[in-house]
Amino acid sequence: MKLFKGFEKSKVIAALFIAVEACIILLGVLFLVTSRFYQALGCLLWGMVLCYLFIINPFSPFHHQPFLTADKHRAKRENIITASVCTLLIMACIIPMGAAPAYNGEFPQHRNQYELLARSMMNGHIYIEYDDVDPVLEQINPYDPAQRIEANAVYHSDNAYYKGHYYMYFGVVPVILLFLPYLLITGQDLTTYHGTQIFAAFAIIGIFLLFRQLAKKYYPTMSFVMLLSLSTAFATICVYFSVGTPALYCTATTSAVCMVVWSFYFFIRAIYLTPAEKRWKRVSLAALGSLFGALAFGCRPTAALANLILIPFFLEYLRTELACSNSRKKILQLVGRICIIALPYVIVGVLLMLYNFSRFENPFEFGQAYQLTSADQSQYGNFFENFSTVRTVNGLLYNFIGFTPIIGEFPYVYYNSAFVNFPILLIGFAFISGNVWKKVKEYKMRLFLMTLFILPVLITVIQIAWAPGNGSAERYRMDIYSILTLFAFLVIGFLNEAVSKEKRGVWGAVICLLCLEVMLICPLFLLFPDDYNYTHWYPESLSVWRQIIMLH
């Protein structure tokens, strides 16, 4: 009975758990005996879900065990569990990326631009080496899809075209960091989805580390099970969409998410988690934050708008540094440190502008205006010319609270808006509560939280103005999920500190249940046949997954 030690108040729950788990085991054995292996696998999966539900029940002692502990053996055990869960999540996200033939290199189509640009750079130029550039494109407006159809022009979709050459309008940073070095070292192309796998893995690791650092500093009473559940669920939210369609669009977005997450990690450590007395450690960490933040612009500019979080970071850094700098010499030293921190932005920014100018004769043009896609984006003009109040309001509503009706066939669901997909993100709105705001003021994080609150709206507005359609596709929401999850984690942590001991079990159970919703809904989203994913090519596989999940 050691398994149930500490569950004296939940004997009924323990008895029910044993009974239901026994039924699941017997059912699984029955499926195995009758050679119904998919249903047996489903029993295993649902048995794991049931175990998790038992661990997080409101009477569970795990809700009363803070992850910060003086017990070295327990701390070591929890570190091993965290590393194992993080590794399993990475494997669960990256292994399925190689399934769909439209993305794994089997049917390259137009999804290998990173590989092609790496080849071009190795050959000394930055345009993509297509050998079938149609001269008709120079005789029409090549960006107008109607004119391309009328002229029967041959063209490469989702490429930028300018003055007789094709260019990749996705950010060049993944090529510089991964694809070109791999090509130079091995002589072989790095298949695009492998790049997405690497960026997704590092994004997940960054989220686990960031949340752990924040919990150590601000949330001493947060339980280990809550921290682990939040880390797993929020990391999944940030990268899950790239699992089904891992090449091209999601390579750009996932790489940007990775850069943003690590930029947040280093900046938060520098500004909030490192004492002001350790000046050069703060400078080093902040400079790394600047480097990753700057690289995000070379991955996907809209996702890189998360760099606006620099405003509260910079002001807080100035506040703490000026408190210790009471002489002219110290102020000059402070200016020097700020210049060091800003240097990566300057260097990367200049290089990106030179790259853009060499392609489009405009340092601020990343290629969006010249892409060959379903809309003539060369006519969009600047942001203010293309802004529409009605379109923006509709896009915001669709992006955050829009609901897609439940479909009648397995997997029954399709992508909804951010807050409908993942209700746990709604907890972020509790930042206005007295208990949370009191803590936020105490830790000098008011502007930080307000910026996190505003950024998803700002990024969505810009997406709506610059993207065709409503600018609110699920892959566009990847730009804001890293911000929304950080915001929700901070608020949940502050709420947790205000929860009484008597209510801690119920509170912990609610949060963990919302995390479980994330882990259950994301696979269903990915099973919907969409955008040339695995089930689009192999719709018969849906019956297999239906047998696994529905047990029939």
Residue type, 167: Y
User: Which has the closest alpha carbon to 260: 211, 192, 308?
Assistant: 308
Interhelix angle 72-94/224-239, nearest 10 degrees: 20
Rg, the chain, Cα only: 25
For residue 375, pLDDT over 90 is answered with: no
Return the SS3 of 139.
Answer: coil
What is the pLDDT at residue 471?
Answer: 56
CA–CA separation, 223 and 504 (whole Å): 10
Return the SS3 of 128.
Answer: strand
pLDDT tens digits, residue range 104-126? 888 766 578 999 999 999 999 99
User: Which has the closest alpha carbon to 449: 436, 462, 461?
Assistant: 436
What is the pLDDT at residue 4?
Answer: 45
User: Which has the closest alpha carbon to 239: 204, 198, 265, 195?
Assistant: 204
User: Which has the closest alpha carbon to 247: 200, 195, 296?
Assistant: 195
pLDDT tens digits, residue range 161-178? 999 999 998 999 999 999
- % of the chain at pLDDT higher than 90: 61
For residue 432, pLDDT over 60 is answered with: yes
This prediction's pTM:
0.94
CA–CA separation, 261 and 480 (whole Å): 11
Residue type, 189: D
What is the pLDDT at residue 1?
Answer: 41
pLDDT tens digits, residue range 453-481? 999 999 999 888 877 655 568 889 999 99
CA–CA separation, 242 and 239 (whole Å): 6
Contact (CB, 8 A) for 232 and 190: no
pLDDT tens digits, residue range 236-267? 999 999 999 998 889 999 999 999 999 999 99
